[in-house]
Amino acid sequence: MSLELRPFTLDDEEAALRAWRAFQGTPFVFLTSYYEGQPWAEYVASLADYREGRNLPEGHVPGAMLAAVVDGVLVGRASVRFELNEYLAAYGGHIGYAVIAEYRRRGYATAILRQALRLASAHGVSPVLLTCDDANVGSATVIERCGGELESVGPDENGVMFRRYWVRV
Ligand SMILES: CC(C)(COP(=O)(O)OP(=O)(O)OC[C@H]1O[C@@H](n2cnc3c(N)ncnc32)[C@H](O)[C@@H]1OP(=O)(O)O)[C@@H](O)C(=O)NCCC(=O)NCCS
Domain ranges of the chain: 3-125
From 5, 75, 99, the mutation candidate for ligand 1 (largest count of ligand atoms within 8 A of CB) is 99
Task: Confirm or reject: Cβ of 138 under 6 Å from ligand 1.
Answer: yes
The predicted pLDDT at position 1 comes to 76
Three-class SS state of 74:
strand
What architecture is domain 3-125? Answer: 3-Layer(aba) Sandwich (3.40)
One digit per residue, the tens of pLDDT, for the chain of length 169 reads: 799 999 999 999 999 999 999 999 999 999 999 999 999 999 999 999 999 999 999 999 999 999 999 999 999 999 999 999 999 999 999 999 999 999 999 999 999 999 999 999 999 999 999 999 999 999 999 999 999 999 999 999 999 999 999 999 9
Number of CB atoms found within 10 A of residue 14's CB? 10
> d(Cα 129, Cα 88) in Å, to the nearest integer?
9
